[in-house]
Copies of this chain bind each other. A is one copy, B any other.
Amino acid sequence: MFENEQRTELGTLGEFGLIQHIASHFKPKRSDTVAGIGDDAAVIQSENRLVLLCTDHMLEGVHFDLSFHPLKHLGYKAVVSCVSDICAMNGKPGQILVNLGTSNRFSLEAIEELYAGIQLACERYGVDLVGGDTSASQRGLMINVTCYGSAKTETITYRKGAKPNDLLVVTGDVGGAYMGLQILEREKKVFLEHPEMQPDLERFDYIVGRQLKPEARVDVIAQLEELKIVPTSMIDVSDGIASELHQLGAHGKVGFNVYENKLPIDPQTVDIALEFGLNPSIAALNGGEDYELLFTVDQGHFDLIKNLPDMTIIGHATEEIGKYNLITATGNSFEIKAQGWEHFKHLSE
């Protein structure tokens, strides 16, 4: 594999392109590997159980900005982001491992703050921290979390599996974490230009909270189990609904119609989007890091789902493979493009 003398910039592939490119060279060979690269978590057969494994990293200057992400929140969020991937397989988290790289800009007390957040998340989600590594970094802070969990053969849910006419459901509300980030970045800029001005974040408490301290929807997984609903496909909303929709569509070989007036958007998200001159639906579709769950269920579950306060049916799967339409209140249809986070395009060394 891999022999040539070209230079191809990573930005031309983007993160998803790179992962796909890598995955094409790594087909699983072991009989106990049930699912490899390409879903929210890897799936490994262990006697009668399915083991779930996923790993996520957060790098300073790329995934977070320490001028407005407090270390404690950061530790919490790093765990949430990984636990959320286990939820997205309809699984339950069990243990985590944390690797930390830190320059000596950070004191022991700062690292303790970070671990206090990790500890809080461990308690909240009932997981044990069981290992990891710490080392120096030349510059900046990097946090790597691996989560181990399990799922049942009968109820594990992949990104693939959506069928035409399945209902498309999202939990909670979306777009808030993204607008929260816009607020934090704006207030940082104001502060840098006018250090005497203290930021007043109270008016933005909900969306700033969505950005700084998101939650993984273990409650939704428990609720689905109780209702005996097994989604046909599922993913967590880390890159934005638009991007996740493309994943469910590509894996399930379906298309989707999404109804704009069904998108669950918090009033604060709407207000701030408008203040920024943004269409709130765009924030809801393309904003990432809400860590809600996006899934499809058979139409037969309509009556069960429709009255659940924390789940919203926002559309349905179609037979038109690769077509993702946003249908407005007036019946117009727009193509939903996957934008998500494309890290590689913005950074330089």
Most chain B CB within 10 A, of A5, A146, A148, is at A146
**Chain B proximity of A123: nearest CB distance (Å):** 9
- In the complex, the answer to whether B30 meets A104 with C-beta atoms within 8 Å is no
Decide if A22 is an interface residue (CB 8 Å cutoff): yes
For chain A residues 134-185, which have a beta carbon within 8 Å of chain B? 134-140, 142, 144, 146, 148, 150
Decide if A113 is an interface residue (CB 8 Å cutoff): yes
Binds B, one of A38-46, A201-209, A244-252, A277-285: A38-46
Majority secondary structure, A binding face = mixed
- In the complex, the answer to whether B140 meets A138 with C-beta atoms within 8 Å is yes
Decide if A11 is an interface residue (CB 8 Å cutoff): yes
Decide if A84 is an interface residue (CB 8 Å cutoff): no
**Chain B proximity of A261: nearest CB distance (Å):** 35
Chain B hits for A218, CB < 8 A: none
A residues bordering B, Cβ < 8 Å?
1-2, 4-13, 15, 18-19, 21-22, 25-26, 28-30, 32-33, 35-37, 41-42, 44, 46-49, 51, 53-57, 59-63, 94-95, 97, 99, 101-109, 111-113, 115-116, 119, 122, 126-140, 142, 144, 146, 148, 150, 343-344, 346-349
